[in-house]
Structure 1
Amino acid sequence: MAKKLKQASRKELQELKPYLEEWVDRTEKSEYIDEDPVQFMHAYEDKEDQLLAGFFAALMAWGRRDIVVNKVGDLLNRMDHRPADFIKNFTEADAARFEGFKHRTFKPVDIYWLTKILSSIENKYAGFENFWKHCYSHAENKSRELISVFHEEFFAMHPEAAQRTRKHISDSEKNSSCKRLYLFLKWSIREGSPVDLGIMDFMPASELMIPMDVHVGRQARVLGMLGRTYNDWKAVEELTGKLRQLDPEDPSKYDFALFGIGLSDEEIPERFVKNPEYLG
């Protein structure tokens, strides 16, 4: 049986807020962009280029950031650094460009199907945000979580897509943390940030869920903000609920704080440490 983690009380959460806000201020700076995959959104001026480059960058944000940046750069180079034009006009002959591409479990067949589906989306919905709007409206009408609807509608564009490719688009109804898709949404929706671009407005920032990775989960457990020991959808709901107590309008901004704390060599003040076994 898993050890029960200590959790911060509501009062202790409020006492923690200034510490987290300080870390947001320290981390959410333009310099952050240079070493992060979000740089590929900032590399373009056209919205559709930004969204499509950002989507692939977020899907591939898995492992060391420098390796992710190199791999995303490789992929966009194969698209002649014109992702919107390449994807909208994608043909079977273009599939050869993906030969030899590999990143983690991504193989050429996965890039092929993701690109083919995105091409159909671009041409049917006249823009990626319009597809997200469609999914958001459907999710609201059916009282379902957005990412599950996105997964379903995404692959409905090409039901014949390789089964192995489906694992690259998360599904919260299968208890996935959906980290990479909510990372993309954070990049695309949060406004007034030197890092996040705020170029989509189909949903408010208040509804964003925290992008849950191993580092965010670890720091949240240290601070007593997460009692669940697995980084799954239930953990995302639990942690985001705590963060909404601190800032109901912009809970996902604390991703910067938890990331910054985890990257720093500074010791967390002892009064905030609830579960020291997660330190280090």
Structure 2
Amino acid sequence: MTQKELKEFLDAKVQQYNHPSFLEQDPIQIPHQFSKKEDIEISGFLTATIAWGNRKSIINNATKLMTLLEHSPHDFVLNHSAKDLDALAPFVHRTFNGDDLKYFVLSLKNIYQHHNGLEGVFAKYQESKSMQYAITKLKQVFFELPHLSRSQKHVSDPSKGSAAKRINMFLRWMVRDNSTGVDFGIWNTLSPNQLSCPLDIHSGNVARKLKLLKRKQNDAKALLELDTSLRNLDATDPVKYDFALFGLGVFEKF
């Protein structure tokens, strides 16, 4: 395919998959249960944190998580008691357990009380063409309280070579406009042109078949390579192609 043909093909796939029907099988349906900005942010961040493995399992466990947070994640984070925290102990999704969840609630409280919320952290450390440095800084802020070392693995760090798939997905949810009813567009301090594609096995394999990506590992270097290719297709909203790459890989077995 020529560059023009590739762009036309992927733009058509974006139109196909960037649609409310996408919500039916995707974890983004969890934050769509809320209307308050902070509830959307916190539910989205926690859902993205456990978004690996089987998508049905992710959705089921994120639903359980919202029940534990009494369907008011922002209020729970700010006003929980010690007894409320203890009630989180049974939660588990793969290697993310109740101890991790307890710390995440405590850290989010610290972030909303002392760092102007999740958006405030990302906005403070954003760079003009990338959010990867801000993701690294988020991890530093997130673990500034006493914590179990095991919990650190649940927040990615691009400076250590991670593609940070789940946090890049979360940023897509928060920043891209909500004109199609999929993403939220509630963070106006950031721009879609700063975002990176959530790189996983599906989007990576499709990107390689379409010659958008050569590097074999799905790591930070591959993300930079894919970013460059997608920005050549659309410099203002490169991460919209996440829908195309993911849809082609998951639904069409491209």
Which residue does 2:101 correspond to in 1?
Answer: 111
Question: Secondary structure at 2:51's aligned position in 1?
Answer: coil
Which residue does 2:139 correspond to in 1?
Answer: 151
Aligned with 2:155 (options 169, 186, 199)? 169
CA distance in 2, matches of 1:135, 1:123: 18
Which residue does 1:274 correspond to in 2?
Answer: none
CA distance in 2, matches of 1:163, 1:238: 31
Question: Secondary structure at 2:190's aligned position in 1?
Answer: coil
Residues 126, 207 of structure 1: alpha-carbon distance in 2 compared, 3 angstrom cutoff: closer
Question: Secondary structure at 2:218's aligned position in 1?
Answer: coil
CA distance in 2, matches of 1:264, 1:77: 30
In structure 2, give the amino acid aligned to 1:18.
E
- Contact 2:122 2:135 survives alignment (8 Å): no
CA deviation after TM superposition for structure 1 residue 126, in Å: 4.4
Superposed CA offset, 1:203-240 (max 9, x none) = 21001011001100010111111110000000011001
Paired-residue identity, %: 35
CA distance in 2, matches of 1:153, 1:99: 24
Which residue does 1:27 correspond to in 2?
Answer: 17
- Structure 2, unpaired ranges of 5+: none
Listed as ranges, the matches of 1:112-131 within 5 Å are 112-131=102-121
Question: Secondary structure at 2:80's aligned position in 1?
Answer: coil
CA distance in 1, matches of 2:139, 2:176: 22
Which residue does 1:193 correspond to in 2?
Answer: 180
Question: Secondary structure at 1:45's aligned position in 2?
Answer: coil
Aligned with 2:90 (options 86, 100, 109)? 100
- Contact 2:172 2:195 survives alignment (8 Å): yes
Aligned with 1:40 (options 30, 38, 55)? 30
In structure 2, give the amino acid aligned to 1:185.
L
Point out the structure with max Rg over C-alpha: 1
TM-score, normalised to structure 2, is 0.94
In structure 1, give the amino acid aligned to 2:13.
W
Residues 149, 111 of structure 1: alpha-carbon distance in 2 compared, 3 angstrom cutoff: same
Residues 26, 83 of structure 1: alpha-carbon distance in 2 compared, 3 angstrom cutoff: same
Q: CA RMSD in A?
A: 1.7
Question: Secondary structure at 2:87's aligned position in 1?
Answer: helix
Residues 144, 63 of structure 1: alpha-carbon distance in 2 compared, 3 angstrom cutoff: closer
Superposed CA offset, 1:243-268 (max 9, x none) = 000000000000000111113347x6
Question: Secondary structure at 1:145's aligned position in 2?
Answer: helix
Question: Secondary structure at 2:92's aligned position in 1?
Answer: coil
CA deviation after TM superposition for structure 1 residue 202, in Å: 1.9
Superposed CA offset, 1:183-219 (max 9, x none) = 0000000013320010012221001011001100010
Greater mean deviation of Cα atoms: 19-28 or 95-104 = 95-104
CA deviation after TM superposition for structure 1 residue 144, in Å: 7.4
Aligned with 1:180 (options 166, 181, 184)? 166
Question: Secondary structure at 1:193's aligned position in 2?
Answer: coil
CA distance in 2, matches of 1:145, 1:167: 17
In structure 2, give the amino acid aligned to 1:195.
V
CA distance in 1, matches of 2:133, 2:10: 28
Task: Please identify runs of 4+ aligned residues in structure 1 that moved more than 4 A.
Answer: none
Higher relative contact order by CA 8 Å / sep ≥ 6: 1 or 2?
A: 1
Question: Secondary structure at 1:58's aligned position in 2?
Answer: helix
How many residues in Structure 1 have an aligned counterpart in Structure 2?
251
In structure 1, give the amino acid aligned to 2:191.
P
